[in-house]
Structure 1
Amino acid sequence: MDTEEQQRLFKRTIQEMRRGNLVLAVLALLHERKYGYELLKEMNTLGFGLTQDTLYPMLRRLDEQKLIDSEWVVETTRPRKYYCINRNGEVLLENLKSEWKNQMERLERVIK
């Protein structure tokens, strides 16, 4: 396998790992009501490197799955859609956090 092929494989693997962590991160950050762009900026400040094309479909899906609540609020000149985790999302978040910790412990034992 040449270096270029290794790089492509590495990037794909990182994307898969990242995708699994994004739901956990989004739910955790929505403990306070935030509008989409505000959440996007916060996640990117934390190093997630997200785009609108990734975040907004995820927010719609989480809303459809009844894990977050959303509402349109008209502020100043344009409406903003605000999101906040609900009880269903909190239950899932706690389960995901627990599973994430378990997986990290198992990985630590393997990769030492």
Structure 2
Amino acid sequence: MNDDVLAGHLQELRRGTVVMAALATLTRPTYGYALLEELAASGFAVDGNTLYPLLRRLEKQGLLTSEWNTEESRPRKFYRCTAEGEALLTALLDEWQSLHTAIEGLR
């Protein structure tokens, strides 16, 4: 198998799951850079140029809230799932499991 072909398909797969990964992590307040690090440590590396626009989009959709923390030396914007975001995560994970089961049945 061509490594470039595999890399392209893996990128597509990850792009489709980054919302689930972000929502799953943001069940507790986290700022952007810490979210990048946590995702990478879990084996889900995401580029900042992908993550930050995603966070803004999810917030605009009412799936996340944000709040600035200015108590530390460096102000940071913390994100957290709303109830709607947690409901979406549950629905996406259910669908993910259903798709996994269906694909396993095809093998």
With normalisation by structure 1, the TM-score equals: 0.89
Q: Secondary structure at the match of 2:44?
A: coil
Report the Cα distance in structure 1 between the residues aligned to 2:36 and 2:53, rounded to whole angstroms.
12
Query: Which residue does 1:92 correspond to in 2?
Result: 88
User: In the aligned structure 2, how far is the partner of 1:106 from the partner of 1:25?
Assistant: 21
Paired position in structure 2 for 1:7: 3
- How many pairs does the alignment contain? 107
Alpha-carbon separation, structure 2, partners of 1:68 and 1:85: 4
5+ long unaligned stretches in structure 2: none
Cα RMSD after superposing both structures: 1.2
Q: Does 1:108 align with 2:104?
A: yes
Q: Distance in 2 between matches of 1:104 and 1:14?
A: 16
Which is higher, the Rg of structure 1 or of structure 2? Answer: 1
Q: Secondary structure at the match of 1:70?
A: strand
The one-letter code sitting in structure 2 at the alignment partner of 1:47 is G
In structure 2, the residue matched to 1:72 is: 68
Structure 1 unaligned residues grouped into runs of 5+? none
Task: Return the letter of the residue paired with 2:9.
Answer: T
Distance (Å, rounded) in 2 between the aligned partners of 1:59 and 1:44: 16
Whole-angstrom distance in 2 between the partners of 1:105 and 1:76: 46
Paired residue for 1:16, among 12, 16, 19?
12
CA distance in 1, matches of 2:91, 2:73: 39
Normalised to the residue count of structure 2, the TM-score between the two structures is 0.93
Q: 2:58 aligns with which of 58, 62, 68?
A: 62
Identity %: 42
Moved over 3 A (4+): none
